[in-house]
Amino acid sequence: MKRERVTNLYSGRVQGVGFRYTVRTVATGFEVTGTVRNLDDGRVELVGEGAKPELEEFLVAIRDSEVGRFIKNEQTNWSEAKNEFRGFEIAH
């Protein structure tokens, strides 16, 4: 199946609440690779690669997790996978 890339920007109270660690934990249940990191403007950026249905389920699982209540808005952008990730990590 064709791999795709999703870039998701989360806003709300998404820093200082364990958001990145929860996303990394949720990722272990999915066939996805990528990174999650805090941005200077208070948002969190997730970049993930995998099959589109798998990525879509991953994004839903994040919203359904204990940090989902802190998300006020999401911006999602789909593109072609670049295959540059080995696992799923917290980027600094």
Q: 10 Å Cβ neighbour count for 77?
A: 10
Q: Which of 3, 24, 37, 38 is catalytic?
A: 38
**Which amino acid, 68?**
G
Annotation says 20 is catalytic: yes
Asked if residues 58 and 27 have their Cβ atoms less than 8 Å apart, the reply is yes
At what angle are helices 19-27 and 52-64 packed, to 10 degrees?
Answer: 140
Residues taking part in catalysis? 20, 38
